[in-house]
A and B are shown apart, each in its own frame.
Chain A
Amino acid sequence: MSEENVAAVLETVHTREEAEVLEEALAEMENRLFKKTHDAARLLEDIRLSAKTVDILKQFVATEAASANPVDAHETLATLRKKISELKMVRVELAVEPDPRLIEEISRWVRTNVAGQALVDVGVDRRMLGGARIIFNGRYRQMTLAELVEKILEAEKRTILKELGFQP
Protein backbone atom coordinates (compact mmCIF):
# COMPACT_ATOMS: atom_id res chain seq x y z
CA MET A 1 0.00 0.00 0.00
CA SER A 2 1.44 3.32 -1.02
CA GLU A 3 1.80 6.32 1.28
CA GLU A 4 -1.01 8.02 -0.63
CA ASN A 5 -3.27 5.06 -0.05
CA VAL A 6 -2.47 4.98 3.66
CA ALA A 7 -3.34 8.68 3.88
CA ALA A 8 -6.48 8.06 1.84
CA VAL A 9 -7.61 5.30 4.21
CA LEU A 10 -7.02 7.52 7.23
CA GLU A 11 -9.03 10.31 5.65
CA THR A 12 -12.02 8.04 5.29
CA VAL A 13 -12.13 7.41 9.03
CA HIS A 14 -13.93 10.15 10.95
CA THR A 15 -15.23 8.72 14.18
CA ARG A 16 -13.87 6.63 17.01
CA GLU A 17 -16.34 3.88 16.16
CA GLU A 18 -15.16 3.75 12.53
CA ALA A 19 -11.54 3.67 13.67
CA GLU A 20 -12.27 0.73 15.99
CA VAL A 21 -13.96 -1.22 13.19
CA LEU A 22 -11.06 -0.54 10.82
CA GLU A 23 -8.45 -1.50 13.38
CA GLU A 24 -10.29 -4.74 14.01
CA ALA A 25 -10.50 -5.44 10.27
CA LEU A 26 -6.81 -4.69 9.74
CA ALA A 27 -5.85 -7.02 12.59
CA GLU A 28 -7.93 -9.80 11.04
CA MET A 29 -6.40 -9.13 7.63
CA GLU A 30 -2.94 -9.42 9.15
CA ASN A 31 -3.82 -12.86 10.52
CA ARG A 32 -5.20 -14.11 7.21
CA LEU A 33 -2.17 -13.01 5.21
CA PHE A 34 -0.21 -16.04 6.40
CA LYS A 35 -2.99 -18.56 5.88
CA LYS A 36 -3.15 -20.71 2.79
CA THR A 37 -6.67 -19.70 1.96
CA HIS A 38 -5.66 -16.02 1.97
CA ASP A 39 -9.31 -14.90 1.93
CA ALA A 40 -8.74 -11.34 3.18
CA ALA A 41 -10.77 -10.03 0.30
CA ARG A 42 -13.83 -11.96 1.48
CA LEU A 43 -13.56 -10.36 4.92
CA LEU A 44 -14.02 -6.93 3.37
CA GLU A 45 -17.39 -7.87 1.93
CA ASP A 46 -19.17 -7.65 5.30
CA ILE A 47 -17.19 -4.92 6.96
CA ARG A 48 -19.00 -1.83 8.34
CA LEU A 49 -16.82 0.84 6.79
CA SER A 50 -17.35 3.48 4.16
CA ALA A 51 -17.36 2.29 0.56
CA LYS A 52 -14.26 4.33 -0.14
CA THR A 53 -12.31 2.66 2.68
CA VAL A 54 -13.39 -0.76 1.54
CA ASP A 55 -12.38 -0.01 -2.05
CA ILE A 56 -8.88 1.05 -1.02
CA LEU A 57 -8.44 -2.00 1.16
CA LYS A 58 -9.71 -4.33 -1.57
CA GLN A 59 -7.24 -2.80 -3.98
CA PHE A 60 -4.47 -3.31 -1.42
CA VAL A 61 -5.40 -6.97 -0.89
CA ALA A 62 -5.47 -7.59 -4.63
CA THR A 63 -2.03 -6.01 -5.10
CA GLU A 64 -0.46 -7.87 -2.20
CA ALA A 65 -1.96 -11.17 -3.35
CA ALA A 66 -0.47 -10.63 -6.79
CA SER A 67 2.95 -9.89 -5.36
CA ALA A 68 2.69 -12.85 -2.99
CA ASN A 69 4.73 -11.07 -0.36
CA PRO A 70 2.79 -11.41 2.90
CA VAL A 71 5.63 -10.00 5.05
CA ASP A 72 5.50 -6.61 3.34
CA ALA A 73 1.71 -6.60 3.47
CA HIS A 74 1.76 -7.39 7.16
CA GLU A 75 4.14 -4.49 7.79
CA THR A 76 1.94 -2.13 5.84
CA LEU A 77 -1.19 -3.11 7.79
CA ALA A 78 0.65 -2.72 11.09
CA THR A 79 1.80 0.77 10.07
CA LEU A 80 -1.77 1.70 9.20
CA ARG A 81 -3.05 0.46 12.54
CA LYS A 82 -0.36 2.39 14.38
CA LYS A 83 -1.25 5.59 12.55
CA ILE A 84 -4.93 5.13 13.41
CA SER A 85 -4.15 4.64 17.08
CA GLU A 86 -2.11 7.85 17.04
CA LEU A 87 -4.91 10.00 15.68
CA LYS A 88 -6.11 12.83 17.93
CA MET A 89 -9.58 12.51 19.42
CA VAL A 90 -12.24 15.18 19.90
CA ARG A 91 -14.98 14.03 22.25
CA VAL A 92 -18.28 15.78 21.67
CA GLU A 93 -21.07 15.13 24.18
CA LEU A 94 -24.60 15.97 23.10
CA ALA A 95 -28.00 16.12 24.78
CA VAL A 96 -29.66 13.83 22.21
CA GLU A 97 -28.76 10.68 20.34
CA PRO A 98 -27.19 12.04 17.12
CA ASP A 99 -28.37 10.89 13.71
CA PRO A 100 -25.74 10.07 11.00
CA ARG A 101 -26.26 13.50 9.44
CA LEU A 102 -25.37 15.30 12.65
CA ILE A 103 -22.33 13.06 13.17
CA GLU A 104 -21.19 13.78 9.65
CA GLU A 105 -21.63 17.51 10.19
CA ILE A 106 -19.62 17.42 13.39
CA SER A 107 -16.89 15.37 11.70
CA ARG A 108 -16.76 17.82 8.86
CA TRP A 109 -16.45 20.71 11.26
CA VAL A 110 -13.62 18.95 13.11
CA ARG A 111 -11.75 18.15 9.85
CA THR A 112 -12.06 21.77 8.81
CA ASN A 113 -11.23 23.46 12.11
CA VAL A 114 -8.85 21.20 14.04
CA ALA A 115 -5.24 21.15 12.88
CA GLY A 116 -4.13 17.71 11.73
CA GLN A 117 -6.49 14.80 11.49
CA ALA A 118 -8.69 14.10 14.49
CA LEU A 119 -11.36 11.52 15.13
CA VAL A 120 -14.73 12.44 16.63
CA ASP A 121 -15.95 10.52 19.66
CA VAL A 122 -19.64 11.23 20.21
CA GLY A 123 -21.33 10.72 23.58
CA VAL A 124 -24.75 11.54 25.05
CA ASP A 125 -25.61 13.37 28.30
CA ARG A 126 -29.30 14.26 28.37
CA ARG A 127 -28.91 16.50 31.41
CA MET A 128 -27.34 19.12 29.20
CA LEU A 129 -30.73 19.76 27.46
CA GLY A 130 -28.97 21.09 24.37
CA GLY A 131 -25.60 22.34 23.11
CA ALA A 132 -22.41 20.39 23.58
CA ARG A 133 -19.53 19.57 25.90
CA ILE A 134 -16.24 19.30 24.02
CA ILE A 135 -13.16 17.56 25.41
CA PHE A 136 -9.79 17.76 23.68
CA ASN A 137 -6.25 17.12 24.86
CA GLY A 138 -7.35 16.84 28.50
CA ARG A 139 -9.23 20.16 28.47
CA TYR A 140 -12.91 20.83 28.02
CA ARG A 141 -15.40 23.58 27.19
CA GLN A 142 -19.14 23.40 27.36
CA MET A 143 -22.02 25.47 26.16
CA THR A 144 -25.19 23.79 27.26
CA LEU A 145 -28.80 24.80 27.60
CA ALA A 146 -28.86 23.55 31.18
CA GLU A 147 -26.05 25.95 32.01
CA LEU A 148 -27.84 28.77 30.23
CA VAL A 149 -31.11 28.07 32.08
CA GLU A 150 -29.18 28.00 35.36
CA LYS A 151 -27.59 31.38 34.66
CA ILE A 152 -30.86 33.00 33.63
CA LEU A 153 -32.71 31.63 36.65
CA GLU A 154 -29.97 32.76 38.99
CA ALA A 155 -29.94 36.25 37.49
CA GLU A 156 -33.73 36.55 37.45
CA LYS A 157 -34.41 34.66 40.65
CA ARG A 158 -35.80 37.63 42.59
CA THR A 159 -37.94 38.80 39.68
CA ILE A 160 -39.35 35.32 39.10
CA LEU A 161 -40.18 34.82 42.78
CA LYS A 162 -41.79 38.24 42.88
CA GLU A 163 -43.86 37.44 39.80
CA LEU A 164 -45.01 34.28 41.52
CA GLY A 165 -46.25 36.40 44.42
CA PHE A 166 -43.57 35.27 46.83
CA GLN A 167 -42.18 38.42 48.40
CA PRO A 168 -39.08 38.04 50.57
Chain B
Amino acid sequence: MFETFFLWFFGLLAMLFAIGLIMQKHPMRAALSLIGVMISLAAIYGILQVHVVAVFQVLVYVGAVMVFMIYVIMMLDDKDMAFIQKYSKLLVPGVVVFFVFLVAMIGALSRASVIFKPLESNSKIFTFEVFSEKFITHYLFHFELASLLLLVGVIAAVTVIKGGRHG
Protein backbone atom coordinates (compact mmCIF):
# COMPACT_ATOMS: atom_id res chain seq x y z
CA MET B 1 0.00 0.00 0.00
CA PHE B 2 2.67 2.51 1.09
CA GLU B 3 4.90 1.16 -1.65
CA THR B 4 2.33 1.98 -4.32
CA PHE B 5 1.71 5.43 -2.88
CA PHE B 6 5.41 6.35 -2.87
CA LEU B 7 5.93 4.82 -6.31
CA TRP B 8 3.23 7.05 -7.77
CA PHE B 9 4.37 10.06 -5.73
CA PHE B 10 7.96 9.88 -6.94
CA GLY B 11 6.84 9.02 -10.48
CA LEU B 12 4.65 12.11 -10.71
CA LEU B 13 7.42 14.18 -9.09
CA ALA B 14 9.89 12.94 -11.74
CA MET B 15 7.42 13.88 -14.48
CA LEU B 16 6.89 17.37 -13.02
CA PHE B 17 10.66 17.95 -12.82
CA ALA B 18 11.04 16.70 -16.42
CA ILE B 19 8.47 19.23 -17.62
CA GLY B 20 10.32 21.86 -15.57
CA LEU B 21 13.55 20.94 -17.36
CA ILE B 22 12.22 21.82 -20.80
CA MET B 23 10.25 24.88 -19.59
CA GLN B 24 12.92 26.66 -17.54
CA LYS B 25 14.75 29.54 -19.14
CA HIS B 26 17.98 29.54 -17.16
CA PRO B 27 20.23 26.43 -17.49
CA MET B 28 20.92 26.42 -13.76
CA ARG B 29 17.22 25.93 -12.97
CA ALA B 30 17.01 23.30 -15.71
CA ALA B 31 19.98 21.50 -14.14
CA LEU B 32 18.29 21.58 -10.73
CA SER B 33 15.14 20.12 -12.33
CA LEU B 34 17.22 17.34 -13.88
CA ILE B 35 18.74 16.61 -10.47
CA GLY B 36 15.17 16.38 -9.14
CA VAL B 37 14.30 13.84 -11.86
CA MET B 38 17.39 11.76 -11.05
CA ILE B 39 16.76 11.73 -7.29
CA SER B 40 13.08 10.81 -7.84
CA LEU B 41 14.19 7.94 -10.08
CA ALA B 42 16.70 6.84 -7.43
CA ALA B 43 13.82 6.78 -4.93
CA ILE B 44 11.79 4.63 -7.35
CA TYR B 45 14.74 2.21 -7.69
CA GLY B 46 14.92 2.08 -3.90
CA ILE B 47 11.19 1.24 -3.69
CA LEU B 48 11.72 -1.51 -6.30
CA GLN B 49 14.46 -2.94 -3.98
CA VAL B 50 17.19 -2.39 -6.58
CA HIS B 51 19.32 -0.50 -4.08
CA VAL B 52 22.60 -0.92 -5.97
CA VAL B 53 21.31 0.96 -9.00
CA ALA B 54 19.71 3.59 -6.73
CA VAL B 55 23.04 4.25 -4.99
CA PHE B 56 24.91 4.53 -8.28
CA GLN B 57 22.18 6.74 -9.74
CA VAL B 58 22.85 9.28 -6.99
CA LEU B 59 26.64 8.80 -6.93
CA VAL B 60 27.34 8.82 -10.67
CA TYR B 61 24.57 11.01 -12.07
CA VAL B 62 23.99 13.58 -9.35
CA GLY B 63 27.43 13.38 -7.79
CA ALA B 64 29.59 13.43 -10.91
CA VAL B 65 27.71 14.24 -14.10
CA MET B 66 25.52 17.05 -12.78
CA VAL B 67 28.30 18.67 -10.73
CA PHE B 68 30.33 18.83 -13.94
CA MET B 69 27.34 20.36 -15.72
CA ILE B 70 26.76 23.01 -13.03
CA TYR B 71 30.46 23.86 -13.07
CA VAL B 72 30.19 24.63 -16.80
CA ILE B 73 26.98 26.67 -16.40
CA MET B 74 28.75 28.87 -13.86
CA MET B 75 31.57 29.52 -16.34
CA LEU B 76 29.27 30.86 -19.07
CA ASP B 77 27.77 34.31 -19.21
CA ASP B 78 24.01 34.76 -19.25
CA LYS B 79 23.77 37.61 -21.80
CA ASP B 80 23.81 34.98 -24.55
CA MET B 81 20.95 34.83 -27.09
CA ALA B 82 20.30 31.22 -26.08
CA PHE B 83 19.51 32.42 -22.56
CA ILE B 84 17.06 35.11 -23.71
CA GLN B 85 15.04 33.16 -26.29
CA LYS B 86 13.94 29.78 -24.98
CA TYR B 87 12.71 27.86 -28.01
CA SER B 88 14.15 27.35 -31.47
CA LYS B 89 12.28 27.51 -34.79
CA LEU B 90 11.46 23.80 -34.46
CA LEU B 91 8.89 24.30 -31.67
CA VAL B 92 5.84 23.17 -33.68
CA PRO B 93 7.51 20.16 -35.41
CA GLY B 94 8.98 19.17 -32.03
CA VAL B 95 5.56 19.10 -30.36
CA VAL B 96 4.16 17.10 -33.33
CA VAL B 97 7.02 14.58 -33.03
CA PHE B 98 6.36 14.35 -29.26
CA PHE B 99 2.70 13.41 -29.75
CA VAL B 100 3.36 11.05 -32.66
CA PHE B 101 6.00 9.25 -30.58
CA LEU B 102 3.65 9.01 -27.57
CA VAL B 103 0.77 7.63 -29.67
CA ALA B 104 3.08 5.10 -31.34
CA MET B 105 4.48 3.92 -27.99
CA ILE B 106 1.06 3.69 -26.34
CA GLY B 107 -0.20 1.72 -29.35
CA ALA B 108 2.76 -0.65 -29.20
CA LEU B 109 2.58 -1.14 -25.41
CA SER B 110 -1.19 -1.67 -25.27
CA ARG B 111 -0.84 -4.63 -27.63
CA ALA B 112 2.02 -6.17 -25.64
CA SER B 113 -0.08 -7.26 -22.67
CA VAL B 114 1.99 -10.42 -22.17
CA ILE B 115 4.91 -8.50 -20.66
CA PHE B 116 2.86 -7.05 -17.82
CA LYS B 117 3.44 -9.54 -15.07
CA PRO B 118 2.71 -8.36 -11.52
CA LEU B 119 5.42 -6.38 -9.80
CA GLU B 120 7.01 -8.59 -7.17
CA SER B 121 10.26 -7.16 -6.01
CA ASN B 122 12.72 -9.59 -4.53
CA SER B 123 15.58 -7.89 -2.71
CA LYS B 124 17.58 -11.17 -2.64
CA ILE B 125 18.51 -11.05 -6.31
CA PHE B 126 19.64 -7.41 -6.46
CA THR B 127 22.47 -7.42 -3.92
CA PHE B 128 26.05 -6.29 -4.44
CA GLU B 129 27.24 -9.91 -4.32
CA VAL B 130 25.01 -10.94 -7.19
CA PHE B 131 25.94 -7.87 -9.22
CA SER B 132 29.67 -8.34 -8.79
CA GLU B 133 29.44 -12.05 -9.51
CA LYS B 134 27.50 -11.38 -12.72
CA PHE B 135 30.00 -8.74 -13.75
CA ILE B 136 33.05 -10.95 -13.43
CA THR B 137 31.45 -14.06 -14.90
CA HIS B 138 28.59 -13.61 -17.32
CA TYR B 139 29.09 -9.97 -18.27
CA LEU B 140 32.89 -9.79 -18.21
CA PHE B 141 33.08 -8.80 -21.87
CA HIS B 142 30.53 -5.99 -21.43
CA PHE B 143 32.34 -4.82 -18.31
CA GLU B 144 35.65 -4.63 -20.17
CA LEU B 145 33.93 -2.94 -23.10
CA ALA B 146 32.53 -0.30 -20.73
CA SER B 147 35.98 0.32 -19.24
CA LEU B 148 37.39 0.63 -22.76
CA LEU B 149 34.66 3.17 -23.53
CA LEU B 150 35.69 5.17 -20.45
CA LEU B 151 39.33 5.08 -21.58
CA VAL B 152 38.38 6.27 -25.08
CA GLY B 153 36.24 9.00 -23.47
CA VAL B 154 39.21 10.25 -21.43
CA ILE B 155 41.48 10.25 -24.51
CA ALA B 156 38.81 12.07 -26.57
CA ALA B 157 38.30 14.72 -23.89
CA VAL B 158 42.06 15.39 -23.63
CA THR B 159 42.36 15.51 -27.44
CA VAL B 160 39.47 17.98 -27.76
CA ILE B 161 41.01 20.30 -25.18
CA LYS B 162 44.52 20.06 -26.70
CA GLY B 163 43.20 20.60 -30.24
CA GLY B 164 41.33 23.66 -29.06
CA ARG B 165 44.45 25.10 -27.48
CA HIS B 166 46.65 24.76 -30.58
CA GLY B 167 44.03 25.22 -33.30
The reply to whether chain A is a binding partner of chain B is no
What residues of chain B have their CB less than 8 Å away from a CB belonging to chain A?
none
